[in-house]
Amino acid sequence: MDIKSQIDLAINNFDLQGKVINTKPLEKGHINDTFCVECVLDDNSIKRYILQRINTNIFKNTDDLMENVVNITSYLRKIILENGGDPERETLNVIKTKDGKNYYKSDNNHCWRVYNFIEDATTYDLVENVQDFYESAVAFGNFQMLLSNFPANILHETIPNFHNTVDRLNKLKQAIEKDSFNRVKEVKNEIDFVLDREKDCYIICDLLDKKEIPLRVTHNDTKLNNIMIDNKTKKAICVIDLDTVMPGTVLNDFGDSIRFGASTALEDEKDLSKVECSMELFEAFTKGFIEGTKDSLTDKEKEMLPMGAKIITLECGIRFLTDYLQGDTYFKTHREGHNLDRARTQFKLVLDMEKKWQQMADIVKKYS
């Protein structure tokens, strides 16, 4: 069945308002297939929804995944209402199927879900101005605060070992060993870059093991295009992409935002001379994140924020490189060598952070 027919069939199973007049793919995100569905209501106004085909190669248990999402969004909805906010724009809302389920499974085993569409807001792949990035930091910090009393014991681990950097390193080593696509010879420099930093991969895992930093409920995928920024007020209004909300460390949430948003170039930039970690953006984010978390971070967590940025960037590079060696099956790719280009930008950022280490530490101190 072609994708258009699959979409039509899926939509038919949801309780949407009005009559569907258009569906179009949104070419964003590396994991799920995302579509915007437009419906016309009786009064001729337009109501939009987000339809997603969930990537079940990655999220193996859709029931657990959607149970997490429903639990988290219901929890957030209550708090937003208590605070007088607008739950239609400040959190995702899962639209149920006609038979009351959290998602629809088709005969060919594809899983589809529908969310409210957050109107008049935009996600960015690159920071357009420093203030937007600051606002995203406040919102991600605040998201962390909002979830601080969420019962972690009811959360399923949707991807085991998701930010276990040691496990990511081991998977890279296995991919090198197998070399199924005969690509190792092309990436000797990148492999050496990682192996030179093997010890770094243990730092955050060790801090967690020794309980020197706490396990919290974290988002785990805090890149700038997972936050919606209001087109008029320019405030970051809604954190999206909740598939990886799991117990984790705040260092990764801080770090992942820096990795993506404080970079001076796109994640897949081929010209590495354009890729740097901007200290202006690092400072704006640090200020916003510490404000957003309302001083709930421990001294150790604050001290380790620069390390969080470096390690998650290294880890992300390791993941892109591993996927390249394994034939590009995890992240969506749109050109030859796409994952390799992405891995290279991450390693360039790591190198740049190493050069700017003292500056990063000083900035964190300034706002601690």
Closer residue to ligand GN1, CB minimum distance, 222 or 293:
222
* Residue 71 Cα distances to 53, 76, 190, 268, 351, angstroms: 20, 9, 40, 34, 39
- Footprint of ligand GN1 on 114-173 (CB under 6 A): none
Q: Report d(CA 85, CA 284) in Å as an integer.
A: 25
- In sequence order, the β-bridge partners of residue 236 are 229
Residue type, 176: I
Q: Does 90 bind ligand GN1 (CB under 6 A)?
A: no
The 201-240 contact track toward ligand GN1, x by CB under 6 A, reads: --------------------x-x--x--------------
Binding site for Mg ion (CB under 5 A): 29, 226, 241
Task: Tell me which H or E stretch contains 300.
Answer: helix 299-303
What does the angle CA 180 – CA 182 – CA 187 come to, to the nearest 5 degrees? 115
**Minimum distance from CB of 134 to ligand GN1 (Å)?**
21
Q: Is the Cβ of residue 102 or residue 244 nearer to ligand GN1 in the bound state?
A: 244
Contact between 311 and ligand GN1 by CB under 6 A: the answer reads no
Looking only at Cα atoms, what is the longest distance across the chain? 63
Residues 6 or more apart whose CB falls under 8 angstroms from that of 181 comprise: 325, 326, 327
Question: Toward ligand ADP, which CB reaches closer, 76 or 203?
Answer: 76
CB closer to ligand ADP out of 65 and 305: 65
The least distance separating ligand GN1 from the CB of residue 291, rounded to whole angstroms, comes to 24
Positions in the binding site for ligand ADP (CB under 6 A): 26, 28-32, 34, 50, 92, 115-118, 123, 225-226, 240-241
Distance in angstroms between the alpha carbons of the first and the last residue of the chain: 56
For the bound state, the minimum distance from the C-beta of residue 249 to ligand GN1, rounded and expressed in Å, comes to 14
Window 21-50: residues binding ligand GN1 (CB under 6 A) = 29-31
Cα R_g (the chain), whole angstroms? 21
Binding site for ligand GN1 (CB under 6 A): 29-31, 58, 221, 223, 226, 241, 243-244, 267, 316
